[in-house]
Structure 1
């Protein structure tokens, strides 16, 4: 049974084996206002960087100051999602210590009653934490929405699907372009995780990718980096997974016909 939340605090920290500059701690605190929005205070702090030089940090794609704090409002869709997740959450016994290889997460707050602890379904809460962080970055205009394009070029025509993943509103917008015309649509948010996980399972070869929108027949993906990856040429089966290309093609063709 779902119980509407009044407040929630999530603390997330990477596992002890995660080295700097990647190791970090996230703090997310929110109360629910009269519009069912989340009045949010967010902070991410990167850990254990004292012994790294600025050059070493930058070589891993970071800067010397990646800590970030923000206060603002997140959409009611996130209130509803946290409420749903709480309804199927129970907690480890008090005092349990995480394994060295385990990311650590705790949840506390108030719904019909006070709740607090380390959730047993920690992978779901970990994924939610990453989604909430992306929602904060978008709302704060620190990052743009994720955009993915699937282009299916054939001699007698082409199909193109532009997907915009809007974490700020927890929504997915699509634009399907075919010779007969264009059609706007949406995708269910729950389709996002398996599709993204499948896409990023592939072995991307930037040195073989195309820098301009392709014109030759083939199936292509553009994942926001400005490069077009052709299935079977610059996007290939990862080691040990010979079914990836057939699976990704089937999945993306399915989205075209959604």
Structure 2
């Protein structure tokens, strides 16, 4: 029977980071239910094996001593259709995920319809991360992700920004005080590209550059010059070039 024909009204995503060492290793369970029309979400996230580390070792990696998180409440129902589309296009596998991965359990009005392992693990993990980010934004635990970009040429200086609102799947592009919506998938692919290269913080500045070039600030207040402070990790893949191209398209150039 085609899995897309199954009548389901919710999904449970369960993830285990597997062989990732602490303090990064974690598990979560994200239950999503739309049987009553609204999208109800319940998240339980727990960091594992931290008893092996000192407090200093945890803090030095940028974590806190209270990173476990739980949430129960509503999410914007705009997430329902993407979840259904992801499920209906997924091919399932019998592959073991003992070394880490994500599983999907369908539910119908709370009734368990069986656990499945998606073959497109990365896509489901990214979807889960987006949903968790949506929860963080919904409760104001974190602000929307905003990336600022400056292009300096011999003619002029152009400043713009891209703000991703996970809470309602909206992306806003701003330039010269004017804002326009951007296609969600396009923006997410560009964001993925933005976080692909190496960022050399020893070369970063607290103000955007004024010399000819392209500069980017990823929400932490530090500006990096593309090609100098931001460099490709893999010589065969020009992520920096793709970042420039993505913003050129947004700027209409």
Asked whether the two chains share a fold, i.e. TM above 0.5, the reply is: yes
Query: Runs of 5+ in structure 1 lacking a partner?
Result: none
Q: Is the CA contact 1:13–1:105 (under 8 Å) kept in the aligned structure 2? A: no
Q: Which residue does the alignment assign to 2:34? A: 32
Aligned length: 248
* SS in structure 1 at match of 2:52: coil
Q: Which residue does the alignment assign to 1:45? A: 46
Paired with 1:242 and 1:167, the residues of 2 have a C-alpha distance of: 28
Give TM-score, length-normalised by structure 1. Answer: 0.87
- Superposed CA deviations along residues 184-236 of structure 1, whole A, max 9, x for unmatched, are 11111111332122212222111112212333332111111101111222122
Distance change in 2, residues 1:132/1:77 (3 Å): same
Q: CA deviation at 1:90?
A: 4.0
Matched, 1:128 2:166: no
Map of 1:136-215 to 2, 5 A cutoff? 136-177=135-176, 182-215=177-210
- Superposed CA deviations along residues 110-148 of structure 1, whole A, max 9, x for unmatched, are 38x935322222222111111111111111211111000
Distance change in 2, residues 1:5/1:79 (3 Å): farther
Q: CA deviation at 1:31?
A: 1.8
Q: CA deviation at 1:155?
A: 3.4
Q: Which residue does the alignment assign to 2:56? A: 55
Give TM-score, length-normalised by structure 2. Answer: 0.88
Query: Runs of 5+ in structure 2 lacking a partner?
Result: none
Q: CA deviation at 1:5?
A: 4.4
Paired with 1:253 and 1:129, the residues of 2 have a C-alpha distance of: 30
Q: Which residue does the alignment assign to 2:14? A: 11
Distance change in 2, residues 1:54/1:226 (3 Å): same
Q: CA deviation at 1:247?
A: 3.0
